[in-house]
Structure 1
C-alpha cells in the first residue's frame, strides 16, 4: 500500500491522480443532485451537428474524436482514468528504477505524461464510439426542442413548402435553418416568424407568422 501511495503522489502520475480525484468528487456531488452531468459541456449548435464541413479549432478537435456527441464530464473522467492507469503502471515498471537519476527521471516523466495523455484520448474515443449514437440522438432532440417557439428572421427571398431559410439568434454567430410553411404567408426576406415544430424526415422547421403565433 505504501508503494501505491508513493507512486500516486509521484510525478507525473500525480497530475492524473489530481484529475481523477476531482472527477470522483464531481460524480459524488452529481449523485447527490447538486450538479448536472452535462454542466461542463460545450454549446453545440444544430448546424454543427449536421454540417459536413470540417470545423476548426477546439470544436474541430472535439468533432474529430466524437467528443462533441458525449457529455464532456464523461470524456474528462475517462481520459483521467485511462491516463492514470497507463501512467501508474508505466511508472512502476519503467520510471521507478530511474528515481535516483534526477535528470533522467524527470525527462522520462515528461515523456510518459505526454504519451499517456495521447493514448488516453485515443482510447477514450474508442470506448465511447458505441455510445455516440445514443448521446447524438439525445443531443439533436434537445437542440431541436430548444428552438421551438423561437423568433427567427427570414433570409431567403421566399418560403414555401419546398424551400426557404431563416436565421435564429443563439447568442453567438447565429443559426441558419431550413424552414417551410404554407405559401399563403408570403414571407419575404427580413420578415419575422416563429418556429412551430420540427420535421425529422426533412430536417426542416415548420414556421408561422409572428402575428398568428401571438393570436
Structure 2
C-alpha cells in the first residue's frame, strides 16, 4: 500500500491522480443531486467546424478524436482513468527501477505522460464510439419543446432563480433537468411541478406549481 501511494503522488502519475480524484468527487456530488451530470458541458456548434482544416478549438479537437456527441464530463473521466492506469504501470516498469536518477526520472516521466495521454484519448474514443448513437438519440427524442407542460419531481433541496434540479420520468432511466422559479414559490425535494417554458440562454426550465397551472 505504501508503494501504491508513493507512485500515486509521483510525477507523472500525480497529474492523472489529481484529475481522477476530481472526477470521482464530481460523480459523488452529482449522485446526491448537488450537481447535474451535464453541468460542465458546453454548447459546441459542430456545423461551424470544417473538416478541411484542423480546428484548434475545443469543439474541433473533440470532433477530430471522435469524442463529440457525449457528455464532456464522461470524456474527461475516461481520459483520466485510462491515463492514470497507463502512467501508473509505466512508472512501475520504467521509472521505479532507476528512481534515484533525477534526470532519468523526469525525462522518462515526461515521455510516460505523453504516451499515457495519447493512449487514454484513443481508448476513450474507442469506448464511447458504440454508445455515441445512444446519446444522439436521447438528445433528439427529448427536445425542449416536447417536455413543456410535463410534470417533474423536484430533486434538489430548494429551487430559486439561480439553481434547482428536477427529474422527469420518460419511461427509461429518467432525465435530470435544470429548473428555476420565482422566489414566491417554495419548492422542496419531492414536490411536483410543471415545466412552463425553456430558457435557452441559461439552459434551464421555468416551473410553476400544479395548482397554479390548473388555474
The interval holding the TM-score normalised by the smaller chain is 0.5 to 0.7
Output one character per residue of 1:126-155: Cα deviation in whole Å (capped at 9) or x when no partner: 01111100112223445x536999xxxxxx
Given that 1:44 and 1:68 are in contact with CA atoms closer than 8 Å, whether structure 2 keeps it comes out as no
1:81-140 Cα distance to aligned partner (Å, 9 max, x none): 000000001101111112111001100001100110011000000011111001122234
Instruction: Find the aligned partners of 1:21 and 1:52 in 2 and give their Cα distance.
Output: 33
Superposition TM-score, scaled by structure 2 size: 0.62
Aligned twin of 1:70 = 70
State whether structure 2 residue 21 is matched by structure 1 residue 21: yes
Counterpart position of 2:55: 56
2: CA distance between counterparts of 1:90 and 1:41?
31
Q: Decide whether aligned partners of structure 1 residues 118 and 52 sit closer, same or farther in structure 2, where only a CA change above 3 A counts.
A: closer
Say whether the 8 Å CA contact 2:40–2:72 is kept in structure 1.
Answer: yes
What SS does the aligned partner of 1:67 have? coil
Q: Secondary structure at the match of 1:33?
A: coil
Pairwise CA RMSD of aligned residues? 2.4
Paired with 2:139 and 2:69, the residues of 1 have a C-alpha distance of 7
C-alpha deviation, 1:63, in angstroms: 1.2
2:115 corresponds to which residue?
A: 115
What does residue 37 of structure 1 align with? 37
SS in 2 for 1:127: helix
SS at match of 1:38: coil
SS at the partner of 1:11? coil
How far apart are the structure 1 equivalents of 2:114 and 2:145? 39
Deviation at 1:80, TM superposition (A): 0.4
Contact 1:66 1:132 in 2 (8 A): no
Tell me the number of residue pairs that the alignment of Structure 1 and Structure 2 aligns: 145
Q: Is the 8 A contact 1:79 1:120 kept in 2?
A: yes
For structure 2, the 5+ residue unaligned runs are: 149-215
Query: Are 1:103 and 2:103 counterparts?
Result: yes
Gaps of 5+ in 1: 150-215
> Helix, strand or coil for the counterpart of 1:39?
coil
**Structure of greater Rg:** 1
The alpha-carbon deviation at position 70 of structure 1 amounts to: 0.5
Distance in 2 between residues matched to 1:68 and 1:36, nearest whole Å: 19
